[in-house]
Amino acid sequence: MALPVTEEHIQLADSVRDFTAHHASVAETRLHLSRYAAGDRPKHWDALVAQGLHRIHIDEADGGDGGSLVDLAVVVEETGRALLPGPFLPTVTASAAVTTAAAGVRRSEVLRCFADGTTGAVVLPGSGVTARLGAQGWVLTGRSTPVLGLLSADLLLVGAERVDDAAGDAVWFALPVQALAGALLPEEGVDLTRDLGRLRLTDAQVAAADLVPGLDADRVRAAVTALYAADASGVVAQSLRTAVDHVKVREQFGRPVGSFQAVKHKAALLLLASELSAAAAWDAARSLAQDGTQSRLAAAAAAVVGPGRAVDAVLDAVTLLGGIGFTWEHDIHLYWRRAISLNALTGPVPTRASDLGALSLTAARDFDLELEDEDPAFREWVAEQLDAAMTLPPNLPQRPGAWPASGTGPRRTLLADTGLAAPHWPRPYGLDASPAQQAVIAQEFAKRGLERPSSVIGEWAVPTVLAHGEEEQKRRFAVPTLRGEMTWCQLFSEPGAGSDLASLSTRAVQDRDRGGWVLNGQKVWTSSAHEADWGICLARSDPQAPRHKGLSCFLVDMHSPGVEVRPLRQATGEAEFNEVFLTDVFVPDQCLLGRAGEGWKLTATTLANERLTIGSGMGGRDGAERLRDAVRSGTPAADAPAVLEALGSITATRIALHALGLRSTLRRLSGLQPGAAASVLKVGSALADRAAAATGLRLLGAEGAVGTDAHGLVQGELQLPSVLIGGGTVEIQLNVIAERILGLPR
């Protein structure tokens, strides 16, 4: 999935792709690397200006197209894919920074210059340039850190730290380069497609008219970071595409390289990096329309997840290409070089991660979905139903220790009967709600602090019944499940068939005399089987058929004779999983789901719902939140810089995962396919929880030897296998991503 989440953005990206293919191919770029390094303007610049790609985000009143920073980020990502050379990125970062200024004459003057095709670059505060107010204006001094696009710029936006009576504040100037003779020092940049330089000023006199008031350093840094992250997203996406195309056709040992599992996993992890990079860049761009704290959170996350990880991601692409990727003739090294440059210029990753870790202790990223009410009557109806539900007694858990959201009672019955317990289910059990209606319902639940009831495993099992079952089966199982009166387990995994379900050995033999089937076998790792009323069970009904075709799906009454449940005590000391022994268990024909032999197809529906739910977190606290609680409480080593850095890195991943989920929702609202979100969320969440658990143990120090720490960090570590294995192991998920999404051979 690229940055676009609407049809309009897809069309915009397509137009940029067409432009770069026509005007700036990588082959053409290679011919002029020395010119670009010297700051020469590329031949395509006039065509780019004529098409207006540089001014899409500038207000119409100032000569632009009136778009947003997200629109610009879509453009920048595509230019990153194409390795567009020259001053485009530094110019639009400069103009984007100016758009964050307070409205005024000077802001409009500078933006009009950029809209007319003036090139630019940004010198951020803290880069080494200081300012003091003198008798005849401002005096600037200092030697800056490397600045992207400095040599090709016509106009510099310079943020200087004050060293006079207002020391520490930043002031901003828009300085024409022709007035800075001798102040530009060329540097040999690692990115061969763009120029790099330092600004050196010694008591340079700057007129008050050059001042750009109303700029905030954090907002400017957020805008620059968002666009650098968008460029990095394009770089990683193109590197992924290049590597995958190669391993599909490159053969070793008589087979495509992409058929080897190690290669698949590396490619799948590269897709994960690409998806999170795009999500974080998009989130940072949209955050500029929110308050300062929100933009700081999103920008720091984008810096860590985007440019901060782009170097390793592209390096993985290089190694997937093998020796050919290390040659000068292959283009991949140009992308690698750009990733290195973006990583460096975005700021030290440990610092950005530490800042995010500290900020996350007091603030959280806001992922509320803003909707235009196209159907206010529907929202009003939902509000009325929920208000009525709030007047009823709260739901009560059916048994001690059960998840509160799975409780039952009059409140839940009302929500089930109105279709609000599972609005995405088809009528009459749900509302057959559109994505937009589902979003409205979620907002109304959140507005009241009301938790939507959950059927837990029923949320995976019953949709399979609704999709493939007879009408009588739907009526029999859907309503009691929605009301919380019927609970479920999933009888899939076996001792000899974990992730490889097609190799299961539980047998189902038809008993025509009694009108049903007799099941024999053993299931394992069955969550909640000890308290379930029904189980959805996969069994082999035709031992002569191919593995995937001889399976059938049954609905098993867990109170039937011959069903024996034995709890499996986990490393945590709890017993959430079970072994289930099926000995001559009779299942009537009415409980065969679908037709005999269709079990594998039906199982795919169940697993898809399971993985999506697990990937979204199922509403529980994740490891990062436990870690934050521990740091807030002053747990030993909580003030160690490495702890805040690790917390920031994990928080950045979590923010990107939430952004990915929101983008998937928005794509659905736009009528587009959600993309690879479900599988990526599952893997990304599991890896983030593993990193959080490891950091928690480091944080505890010697206290980690105590198994009952106040914040559950040790328990979080001991709980990890259920995250890393449940719903299909991470390794299986990587295979799924590689084969079904990237198209690598089996």
Report, in angstroms and rounded to the nearest whole number, the Rg of the chain calculated over CA atoms: 29
Q: Strands 196-206 and 251-252, how do they pair?
A: unpaired
Distance of CA 500 to the CA centre of its chain: 28
Specify the amino acid at residue 667: R
- Any catalytic annotation for residue 610? yes
Token pair 């030290």 is found at 348
Instruction: Return the half-sphere exposure (C-beta side, CA atoms, 13 A cut-off) of residue 490.
Output: 26
Q: Are 162 and 170 in contact (CB under 8 A)?
A: yes
Query: Which residues 6+ apart lie within 8 Å of 468 measured at CB?
Result: 553, 593, 594, 598, 601, 602, 605
Q: Are 320 and 330 in contact (CB under 8 A)?
A: no
* Helix H or strand E segment including 219: helix 217-249
Whether a cis peptide bond, with omega within 30° of 0, leads into 348 is no
Set 77, 78, 459, 610: catalytic member: 610
Specify the amino acid at residue 296: R
d(CA 306, CA 231): 9
**Quick one: 61 exposed, middle or buried, by C-beta within 10 A (0-12, 13-18, 19+)?**
exposed
E-only strand ranges, 190-295: 196-206, 251-252, 255-256
d(CA 183, CA 202): 9
**Residue-by-residue DSSP string for 113-182:** HHHTT--EEEE-TTSS-EEEEETTEEEEEEEPPPEETTTT-SEEEEEEEE-STTTT-EEEEEEEGGGSTT
Query: Which residues 6+ apart lie within 8 Å of 42 measured at CB?
Result: 24, 32, 35, 36, 85, 86
By annotation, the residues acting in catalysis are 610
